[in-house]
Structure 1
Amino acid sequence: MDTVKEDIGGCYYNRNVQFFYEASGKNISSHWRPRDYVIVSLGMLVCFIVIFSNILVMLAIFINKRFHFPIYYLLGNLAAADLFSGISYLHMMFHTGPWTIKLSKYQWFVRQGLIDTSLTASVVNLLAIAVERHQTIFTMQLHSKMTNRRVVMLIVGIWLVAILMGLVPTMGWHCLCDLKNCSTMAPMYSRSYLVFWGLLNLLTFTVMMAVYTRIFLYVRHKSQRMSQHTSQVRHKETVVNLMKTVSMILGCFVICWTPGLVVLLLDGLGCDRCKVLRYEKYFLVLAECNSFVNPIIYSFRDKDMCRTFKRILCHLCRRDSGEESTARFTSLDQEVQSESHGGQHLSHGADR
């Protein structure tokens, strides 16, 4: 973003955030209303739930060797994206409402960039999960043969893309020099950027849905031709259950984010009759809620994950300290890992 302090050639570099909000028709209240208190309070509550639940998922994947496979590393990275989303929304809660007027242009772009980065990280991560599942399911394997190094490189690549997309408006794709092209929902974003952003994400959703539809059709066809040996039946059930879990994660993500992206796209296209500001906050809350849906899905769909959650929570509830507490945490790790060996042996036997 430009750091020039003077208005030059129709570029409004020296104007505050309020100027752009008033120019786009998105007025900011100068005082706190009861509605503002309710929105911020609920938003902060959801953020704390999101942060805690996704830390729980990441910790479960870390301590349980049953989850030390590429698909779970990617699911853990998705939890990291949701965690980042919770932090980003929490940051927004402290920089919204009447507080928005006090923001500098740089602070406003940081606020929006954090949200964009978290969404991009989630979308690209879901796309990576879809590709991973496509490669493994079509060979009827439970886990990918991808090395840990490649998984790490993939995760690093996901975050580099996410950060880049979050920085795009700051680097120049804004409307500081084109006031007529400013968005209504994001008054310093260019409408053309919103169209690009909305179409790119909706296209990605469509591709992922097509991939999962193809996978399901293949699994259904393949399962009908498999023999009835016990090991193969168990393997098939494990594959299908994992597919259902990741598909539910994708489905919830699409349901929670699509309304917001559609409204964002309509705003980018300049639909004056759509009254996007009427639905903006509701769709923002819906999108935010998606970040704590995944841990709920894990709890109901994955028994190993649910057991790991319970043991972690039981450990956190203990008030003992010193060596006894350390010993209990060590026993927690060993207990979780010992229970995982049976599942691992089953998976490896099925893969062979």
Structure 2
Amino acid sequence: MVNANFTSPNQTSSNSTLPQLDITRAVSVGLVLGAFILFAIVGNILVILSVACNRHLRTPTNYLIVNLAIADLLLSFTVLPFSAALEVLGYWVLGRIFCDIWAAVDVLCCTASILSLCAISIDRYIGVRYSLQYPTLVTRRKAILALLSVWVLSTVISIGPLLGWKEPAPNDDKECGVTEEPFYALFSSLGSFYIPLAVILVMYCRVYIVAKRTTKNLEAGVMKEMSNSKELTLRIHSKNFHEDTLSSAKAKGHNPRSSIAVKLFKFSREKKAAKTLGIVVGMFILCWLPFFIALPLGSLFSTLKAPDAVFKVVFWLGYFNSCLNPIIYPCSSKEFKRAFVRILGCQCRGMEHSRLTKPDWVCEGSLDILGTVHPVMGELEEGTQLLRART
């Protein structure tokens, strides 16, 4: 979101007086911000193309991720270049009307990005808590309705200043920023950050609790089943014989279900959940919390208003989250990583027809914070092949 007082300290109230431009600072800051904006644009475009070019990634969860990427891409195209110009020049050059529109689009995109994260957290809780019913509970139609709801709520939160819910405009058209009107600042902070943050924390805490309980129950069930079984019989076919019996429980010491399945579930669910959710929630809080503390406090209490230098840091830190999202979410999926490589290698057309033998419901590209049961079956098959090779 836009700094509420993002102007140079050397600027006067006269429209004809401009702050002196420090060329060295302008070039260095411009290069850094330009690289950041370019990275955000490329990263979010890669996310969108990955889903568009790969049918295995077209799942309700990934639709929410695409919506997040669209919000961040829109921010990167329509807001960040002007924010960078304002930072480099120290004053606004496009007039009052465009300033108001720019500020509203800024709030719109940032709010849509945060609400998309909120929708993803709800989707992941449903997927983990009701895994068997998930395909019927979360359909593509419902996902699209969720996306529309995100943009409607974001519009409601951002449109207030355009309808007059703001303090009087400054006399100098070279000043531009989001409104400091106290009640709007409080309203936008609650709607754009604190309420979605509460939902995200509650959902992800429940996700982790369910994952931990499921892992514990699964491990107990597997151990109980294996204690009642004395040996595992595998039918092995080869050109030399039709059947053979392999005793693995005690004679060989191999137990695919206990040594592979339990271990995989433990690491795939507990460790991956703890790590991924820690990164997602941690980066989200790190990037946005400073801004949404400084904005309402500075608007409600003038004595607590942050200095311009501090506000600029927390202001760009919030923007930085749009650059992190294409890393945190898609890069937790090997399928997204492969899609990125193929797109960068100009192989988007081939992705549509690749891996046609893999059914849509076994989609490792779906952003599953906790993993799914399908990799376990792959590991069990891998373990069976290992047993065959050693006989």
TM-score, normalising length: structure 1:
0.75
Pair 1:211-2:203 in alignment: yes
The 3 A distance-change label for structure 1 pair 73 and 209 is: same
2:350 to 328, 331, 343: 331
Pair 1:307-2:338 in alignment: yes
Letter in structure 1 aligned against 2:354 = E
The 3 A distance-change label for structure 1 pair 110 and 290 is: same
Letter in structure 1 aligned against 2:21 = W
CA distance, structure 2, for counterparts of residue 276 and residue 74 of structure 1: 37
1:253 to 284, 297, 300: 284
Would the aligned equivalents of 1:126 and 1:250 in 2 still touch at CA under 8 Å?
no
CA distance, structure 1, for counterparts of residue 178 and residue 321 of structure 2: 25
The 3 A distance-change label for structure 1 pair 29 and 198 is: farther
Name the SS for the 1:174 alignment partner.
coil
Structure 2 counterpart of 1:199: 190
Distance apart, 1:155 and its partner CA = 0.9
The 3 A distance-change label for structure 1 pair 275 and 243 is: closer
Would the aligned equivalents of 1:113 and 1:166 in 2 still touch at CA under 8 Å?
yes
Query: How many residues in Structure 1 have an aligned counterpart in Structure 2?
Result: 313
Unaligned residue ranges in structure 2 (runs of 5+):
1-6, 223-256, 365-370, 376-391
Letter in structure 1 aligned against 2:164 = G
Would the aligned equivalents of 1:50 and 1:83 in 2 still touch at CA under 8 Å?
yes
Distance apart, 1:45 and its partner CA = 1.7
1:222 to 200, 214, 217: 214
Structure 1 counterpart of 2:116: 125
CA distance, structure 1, for counterparts of residue 90 and residue 43 of structure 2: 28
Unaligned residue ranges in structure 1 (runs of 5+):
1-16, 316-327
Would the aligned equivalents of 2:287 and 2:321 in 1 still touch at CA under 8 Å?
yes
Would the aligned equivalents of 2:105 and 2:158 in 1 still touch at CA under 8 Å?
yes
Distance apart, 1:187 and its partner CA = 6.6
Pair 1:174-2:166 in alignment: yes
TM-score, normalising length: structure 2:
0.69
Alignment of 1:236-251 (within 5 A): 241=272, 245=276, 248-251=279-282
Letter in structure 2 aligned against 1:108 = C
CA distance, structure 2, for counterparts of residue 164 and residue 152 of structure 1: 19
2:83 to 92, 112, 116: 92
The 3 A distance-change label for structure 1 pair 348 and 66 is: farther
2:295 to 242, 261, 264: 264
Q: CA RMSD in A?
A: 3.6
Would the aligned equivalents of 1:130 and 1:211 in 2 still touch at CA under 8 Å?
yes
- CA displacement 1:132-164 (0-9 Å, x = unmatched): 122221124595432222211221221122223
> Which of the two has higher C-alpha Rg?
2
Distance apart, 1:248 and its partner CA = 3.1
Distance apart, 1:175 and its partner CA = 0.5
Structure 2 counterpart of 1:50: 40
- CA displacement 1:283-324 (0-9 Å, x = unmatched): 222222211212222464211111111111122xxxxxxxxx
Structure 2 counterpart of 1:136: 127
